[in-house]
Amino acid sequence: MNQDMKPEPSPSATRTFSIASFAIVVVVLVAVGALFSLVLGVLLVMSSDSCGGSDTRLICSADGQSFVFVMPLLAWLVATVASLVGRFVAVRRGFSPWWFILLAACLYVVIAAVAVVFAL
């Protein structure tokens, strides 16, 4: 070994750092996602302010308002579970868990988009 070369980190040290950094990122995204989902749900419910007595759109009913409030929270829950399950699957199969954060974000966007479409 040359004096100028630094020793390579052990695979277990790199893996521990990767798991810890993944956990930190997931915790931060879960907290931000929960807050964003609550705000989005309230904003989507407020889109029913323009409803009149004869309006038959889904958002103009109590069920529709409940639906558009719950959908972002459901999207947040699905995304959280997907990222956590993905982490365990990735570690077991030997590949990076970071792709599951992207998958979770895509799931969130698709499910929350359904609520936005119903609110409009």
With CA atoms as reference, report the closest residue to 47 among 26, 29, 67.
67
pLDDT tens across 23-61, in order? 888 899 999 999 999 999 999 888 888 887 787 888 888
User: Hey, where are the domains in the chain?
Assistant: 61-120
Q: Is the pLDDT assigned to residue 73 strictly greater than 90?
A: yes
Q: What is the pLDDT of residue 52?
A: 79
Tell me how far CA of residue 41 lies from CA of 12, 37, 46, 61, 68, in angstroms.
42, 6, 9, 15, 6
Check residue 1 and report its DSSP letter.
-
Check residue 5 and report its DSSP letter.
S
Q: Is the pLDDT assigned to residue 13 strictly greater than 50?
A: no
Check residue 120 and report its DSSP letter.
-
pLDDT tens across 75-96, in order? 999 999 998 888 888 878 877 7
- Coil, strand or helix at 55: coil
